[in-house]
Amino acid sequence: MTSPLYFIPLIFLLLACDQLTKLLVCYAIPLYGTLALIPKFFYLTHLYNTGAAFGMLHDSNRFFIGVSLGAFLFLFWQRRHFASTSMQVGWILIMSGILGNLCDRLWRGHVVDFLGFEILGYYWPPFNIADSCICIATGFFLLSAFSSSRGR
């Protein structure tokens, strides 16, 4: 069994991608500005968020700094229990996602969101690479949970 610590460079690579894309968006697109890359489908919209997903719990940056630190420390402490490949991939993704948004909260005072989609006239609230890592990690954790329960 490989320890997830072996994958720390991947965590920092994903973190760097997240922070670089946020930096580019902050530099190239004014706050609340939108750039339609694929009109009526994919947009870059420069927003910031001091709350949770979809802007819930707005102005709760300090609370989410604490939650992020707690989750990061707990998952780091539990790293040895992530034995399967899907669990290890999920661990890499969730750790980098937590770090990406935590860096924003600590350095900027808010999270930068910018990836926006419109599907059949409905807009999905903008998100970022760190958010994507966290959501995909959840998928890997669910995949691992269902595949291990089948083997029983």
pLDDT 10s digits, 29-46: 999 999 999 999 999 999
What secondary structure letter does DSSP report for 110? Answer: S
Residues in Cβ contact with 135 at an 8 Å cutoff, skipping those fewer than 6 apart: none
Residue 47 lies in a domain: yes
> Catalytic positions, please?
113, 131
| 70-102: pLDDT as tens digits | 999 999 998 888 888 889 999 999 999 999 999
Q: Higher pLDDT residue, 146 or 112?
A: 112
**Average model confidence (pLDDT) across the chain:** 91
| Domain-embedded: residue 64 | yes
Q: Is residue 2 part of a domain?
A: no
Confidence at residue 148, expressed as pLDDT on a 0 to 100 scale: 64
130 in any annotated domain: yes
Residue 25 lies in a domain: yes
pLDDT for position 119: 93
Q: Is residue 101 part of a domain?
A: yes
Residue 1, in any domain of the structure: no
Q: Is residue 74 part of a domain?
A: yes
The number of folded domains in the chain is 1
- 40-60 average pLDDT score: 90
Dihedral sign from CA coordinates of 141, 147, 151, 152: positive
How confident is residue 14, by pLDDT bands cut at 50, 70 and 90? very high
Radius of gyration of the chain (CA): 17
| Position 1 pLDDT exceeds 50 | no
> Residue 142 is part of which domain span?
7-150
